[in-house]
Structure 1
Amino acid sequence: MEFLNNLFSGINSYLWGVFVLIPLLCGTGIFYTIKLRFVQVRLFPVALKFLFNNATLFGKRADQSGMSSFQALATAVAAQVGTGNVAGAATAIVAGGPGALFWLWVAAFFGMATIFAEAVLAQTYKATGENNRVVGGPAFYISLGLGPKFKPMAIFFSAVAIITMGCMGSLVQSNTVSQALNHAFDVPLLVSGIGVAILSGLVMFGGMASLASVTEKLVPFMAGLYLIGGSYVLVCHYDQILPAFDLIFTAAFNPEAVGGGALGLTVAKAMQFGVARGLFSNEAGMGTTPHAHAVAKVEHPAEQGLVAIFGVFTTVLIVTFTVLVILVTGVMDFNTTGIELTQKAYNVGLGSIGVQFVAVCLFFFAYSTIIAWYFFSEQNVRYLFHGRGIFLYRVIVCAFLVLGAVTHVNLVWTLSDFFNGIMVIPNVIALVLLHKVVGASLKDFEKKLKKAGID
């Protein structure tokens, strides 16, 4: 086990390093930002209009034909806002210094253009499966958009997505929840695992309608809860907010000026860990969120593309709050990382309830990721097996949730990072090859906006 863990850790450091996925994902974001003429800036006010015109906690019940635009966004955000936004943010600033947050913002900015393209393609090439069920995602726009000769690439993506999001994702998220609840409330690991499996199973077996109903209420609540808690800490340490931002910008370009030289921190390290964590946390280009945006009921693909931008925006907000709380509470310690550092910060900021607050937020973040990633992986089961085996797959995922709670999953985390990484490659290839479709869709949408007098 130790050998495999070391082997795949080495592969991941290269895969998620400065020579493979970072330039691939950032390059795609920069390409689309230029091609679409900074769509994430130009049409941001329009995107706000579409978001708030559709936003509701009690949207029309989803069915086989899809869900509302806001429900699709909530499902995408449920996947994007995971434990990585709480624990991963702390890991990034320990490994790359506080300046890593600045480079995370940069990655997110370009990621907004990438996720716009993903949502447009998912809408453009969505399909109707068994019982007139709407399905979509990268496997569909790879095979339908690029043609039969690319079908093996679509099959590869689907197979990896099923393993990564449905099985390994369930293991690691369940493990995170069970460990946090055990530490904060002494809940036995097995009890947590069974509880998470039951709560997740209720949504899984309820289908798209249950998923949409849960995510449209859960996502605003859990994001709001975390941001309120973080805001309280920041208000209590208001005099440290400006110094924290000064530290972030200084460390982004001159780590030695903030004592990073002795730790071996460099601008390259800040960029690497900030960009990598940013790409991993907002999932732009990874091919996960298009599964949700594909089933949105909208009049034009570009409409959902604009709404999708807010998924990245939400993750940036939560990661930024996590880092700021760590910095203003003065607990930054290069020997402590991950969730321990975040808990330490909230212990200082909220007192004795800090650990419990983080545990509750982690539960909601992990649970939302579990049900959203299950839905994404189910879309790929439907693609590969045409609707067969869904019941069995749901049972398998629930079993993985119980197993994950009581298993030491270092290797699984490492393998999950690996499979997440290789899932990116076919998706990005399709994004680049289908750029004309995205560009034409935006051009057509802007013509319609102009005709309707919307700006």
Structure 2
Amino acid sequence: METLNGFVTVINDFLWTYILVIALIVLGLYFSFRTRFVQFRYFGEMFRLLGDGMGKEAKADGKISSFQAFCISTASRVGTGNIAGIAIAIMSGGPGAVFWMWLVALIGSASSFVESTLAQIYKIKDGTAFRGGPAYYMEQGLNQRWMAILFSVLITLCFPFVFNAVQANTMSLAFNSAFGVPKLAMGIVLCVLTAAVIFGGVHRVAKVSEVIVPIFAVAYILIALFVVAKNITLMPQVFGAIFSSAFNFREFTAGTFTGMILVGVKRGLFSNEAGMGSAPNAAATANTSHPVKQGLIQSLGVFTDTIIICSCTAFMVLLYTQFAQTSGATGIELAQEALSYHIGSFGYMFIAVCIFLFAFSSIVGNYYYGQSNIEFIFGENKNVMFVFRCVVVCMVLFGSLTQVEIVWNLADVIMALMAIVNLVAIALLGKFAFRALDDYTKQRKAGIKNPTFNPANIEGLGKVECWGNDKDSKAL
């Protein structure tokens, strides 16, 4: 087993160090320049569209609103990686890893815009709602079903199975540390709650995410703001540590500088998922009048996840002035230790509750990514879907009880392969997202508050299933 784990680790390091990091940064910069930095130009527009997506009329006829789709993707993005993952990044890569995490998020926002816009363009009808994602635009846009099947298999192995086990494992550790709850008891409770949601389909996933995500995100941010305000005089030192460590080129000789960058980039990608091909599965479900709208909203999701929520964890840990002399805690235990230092023993309980909400929402969001891709491969086969849901629940229980290092390392390999396949697809299809953005911009400049999408206006696009008729054009 150790030999196999070592082999997986070597592959993992190669994929992340020499292929994925370079591809993510290069493509992110390319998309940023080709869209004239859409992630900054349309920042205000993103909030306006998110607000519009919360309207009652956006949920008519059993459809998923833009806000609900945003919550599904954010539920998956904002998970234990935002707490445990950031604490690990700081301990293993130093404060400078936070800077590189920020940078990859700002660059990756453009990639998120492109992949989510493409998901909207190539979405298909799913009863009263829609579904789509990378597998769908690989098959329709590139005419490569083998590529679409490969992506579907990889994302199903990665998110609803392995990543859900990771989320459950972190949750059981947090509750065992804070309340002494046995891991088995925590696993059973989590399995029951997970089954209650996922057997209800995408609409129940959307409703649960719509409630949980805003509540836990706001609560976590408020606690972090309290900690920052309480230690406001130390914040210049925190920022100084982040930037000085990020550009400490003297560490090149020690070989730690590159390691710090990789830690920051890897944790950033693991958290915000920009370019990985996961969030587009949620983006495709939205009922909207123009693909660019959801592309902009999903781009905002990257900002929310990394620049806001991950930074909250980073500040709390870095303001924990004794974090270098802890009992050796790392991950979730370090985050609990840091917050209890700032606000007392309540910190352990608060982090445990946040982990529960973060992890449960991620499990629900990750599940939907698998559902969408299982349906792509097998269609609406009820027997296959029942088996898939049962396996998801079993993996949650497995993760609650066991932590096998090779499983987590294998998850990183699968995630890297999944991201590479998606990056190839969006690099080839990105031109349609650029043209859709130009179309949207032209309508907004003409004074049209609610632009509509007509595929005939997009050069080379051809016919797509869910666009080009009056009914779809009237969607929000």
The reply to whether TM is greater than 0.5 is yes
User: Is this contact kept in 2: 1:171–1:412, CA < 8 A?
Assistant: no
Q: 1:383 aligns with which of 362, 376, 394?
A: 376
User: Is this contact kept in 2: 1:59–1:71, CA < 8 A?
Assistant: no
Aligned twin of 1:52: 51
Deviations 1:46-95 (A, max 9, x none): 22211122236x8865876x400000001110000111111111222222
Normalised TM-score (structure 2): 0.89
Identify unmatched segments of 5+ residues in structure 2: 451-476
Specify the code of the residue in structure 2 equivalent to 1:145. Answer: G
1:139 matches 2:130:
no
Deviations 1:341-399 (A, max 9, x none): 21221121121122211111111111111000100100010000011111221112112
Aligned twin of 1:271: 261
1:440 matches 2:430:
no
Work out the CA distance in 2 between the residues paired with 1:401 and 1:90: 23
Deviations 1:409-430 (A, max 9, x none): 3222111111111111110000
Q: Find runs of 4+ consecutive structure 1 residues off by over 4 angstroms.
A: 58-64
Deviations 1:233-274 (A, max 9, x none): 222212111111111111111266xxx799x47443332221
Work out the CA distance in 2 between the residues paired with 1:289 and 1:218: 18
Please show how residues 38-437 of structure 1 align to structure 2 within 5 Å. 38-55=37-54, 66-129=63-126, 131=127, 134-147=130-143, 150-254=144-248, 264=254, 266-316=256-306, 317-333=308-324, 336-388=329-381, 389-437=384-432
Deviations 1:82-126 (A, max 9, x none): 111111112222222211111111111111100000110000001
SS at 1:452's partner residue? coil
User: Is this contact kept in 1: 2:53–2:67, CA < 8 A?
Assistant: yes
SS at 1:55's partner residue? coil
Of all paired residues, the percent bearing the same amino acid is 39
User: Is this contact kept in 1: 2:170–2:332, CA < 8 A?
Assistant: no
SS at 2:324's partner residue? coil
Change (3 A) 1:194 1:63: farther
Work out the CA distance in 2 between the residues paired with 1:261 and 1:340: 30
User: Is this contact kept in 1: 2:252–2:258, CA < 8 A?
Assistant: no
Specify the code of the residue in structure 2 equivalent to 1:371. Answer: V
Work out the CA distance in 2 between the residues paired with 1:175 and 1:382: 28
SS at 1:134's partner residue? strand
Normalised TM-score (structure 1): 0.93
Specify the code of the residue in structure 2 equivalent to 1:105. Answer: W
Work out the CA distance in 1 between the residues paired with 2:61 and 2:75: 19
Shift of 1:132: 5.9
Work out the CA distance in 2 between the residues paired with 1:369 and 1:328: 27
User: Is this contact kept in 2: 1:200–1:367, CA < 8 A?
Assistant: yes
Which moves more between the two structures, 291-300 or 209-218? Answer: 209-218
Aligned twin of 2:457: none
Identify unmatched segments of 5+ residues in structure 1: none
Specify the code of the residue in structure 2 equivalent to 1:424. Answer: A
Aligned length: 445
